[in-house]
Structure 1
Amino acid sequence: MQIRKLSYHETETIVEYLQAMLDEMASFGGHVFQNSDAGSTWLRDCIQSQINSPDHLFLGVELDAAPSQLIGILEASIAHLPPVFLPKASLHIHAIYVVPTHRRSGVARSLMEEAFQWGQDKGCTEVDLHVLQNSPAKSLYEGLGFGAFQIEMRRKL
């Protein structure tokens, strides 16, 4: 298994994996992804505008066996607090996706640890992410030391 930064020419694969992640999240109560040209175009534009930014990270995991096969991705960025607060840089994990056949084998943990190191190298002092209450990934995050910081509450109108 090899972890590396993803490149601009891999945008379509990133879009495909993010769409799969969003579809899975919907099954756990998340927002439903609009599987349309407009939804895909929006994702593609976001990725292409951020993939070469020094404060944005797109990682991929490949199997060592030939031909190489991308089995997971992670997207993260550096977030800064608004100026009304004391300065602090945080690593924000936007997305992580591992293909179903390679889950529970350490792929997600390895991606997260690589992102943690990148964040530390960039001066971040903490890492945050959002997870759905019913997501099976919640146990992974708790095992990595994440805990609830702020709870978002909702109700139907």
Structure 2
Amino acid sequence: MTIRKATRDETQRILNYHMAVMKEATMGYVKPSQEKVAELMAPFFNGGGYYLVRSKNNIIHGWVGIVRMIDQNTDEWVGFINEMYVLPYFRNQGIAEKLCKAAFNQLKIEGFNKVHLNVYAGNPAKRLYQKLGFQDVSTLMAKNLDLG
């Protein structure tokens, strides 16, 4: 099985999973809705983002969304992994790692020297990202205020 750029049909099928992807990836911090999905995906597609997909016999196993963006700290263009997802049935087979490595290779081909991603606290995928060499850059912290 190879990893390649998703077709238009595969991209549409991937988008059909976005409510479930958002719920799982944001660890309950974001309330999934069609409006929120559209709001979060607009910059991805408007910025030229696309998916690399792993499938066999027209069955999608997983995907990684990549796009270019400006690093607000350094003002340099970097590759950005917008989304990484492996369907539950296909997990624990090394697919996520292969998808990440394919994204790295593609971003290198496109001339990028650095890749960023965002991961929510408590997401088990963070272990994979650390294994692949990602390091924490900043931490967004939140506190609920009781305004009685």
Give the TM interval when normalised to the shorter protein.
Answer: 0.7 to 0.9
Question: Separation in 2 of the partners of 1:72 and 1:8?
Answer: 15
- State percent identity of aligned pairs: 26
Stretches of structure 1 that go unaligned for 5 or more consecutive residues are: none
1:72 aligns with 2:62: yes
Q: Return the TM-score normalized by structure 2.
A: 0.83
Describe the shift of the 1:46–1:87 C-alpha distance in structure 2 as closer, same or farther (beyond 3 A).
closer
Residue aligning to 2:52: 59
Q: Return the TM-score normalized by structure 1.
A: 0.78
Contact 2:44 2:82 in 1 (8 A): no
Q: Structure 1 runs of 4+ off > 6 angstroms?
A: none
Deviation, structure 1 residue 50: 4.5
1:147 aligns with 2:135: yes
Count of aligned residue pairs for this structure pair:
145
1:40-119 maps to which residues of 2 (within 5 A)?
A: 42=38, 46=42, 49-50=45-46, 53=48, 56-63=49-56, 67-81=57-71, 88-119=76-107
Secondary structure class of the residue paired with 1:76:
strand
Stretches of structure 2 that go unaligned for 5 or more consecutive residues are: none
- Residue deviations 1:102-157 (CA, integer Å, cap 9, x gap): 11211111111111011111221111111111011111111101111111111223
CA RMSD of aligned residues (A): 2.6
Question: Separation in 2 of the partners of 1:60 and 1:47?
Answer: 20
Question: Separation in 1 of the partners of 2:129 and 2:142?
Answer: 23
Residue aligning to 1:33: 32
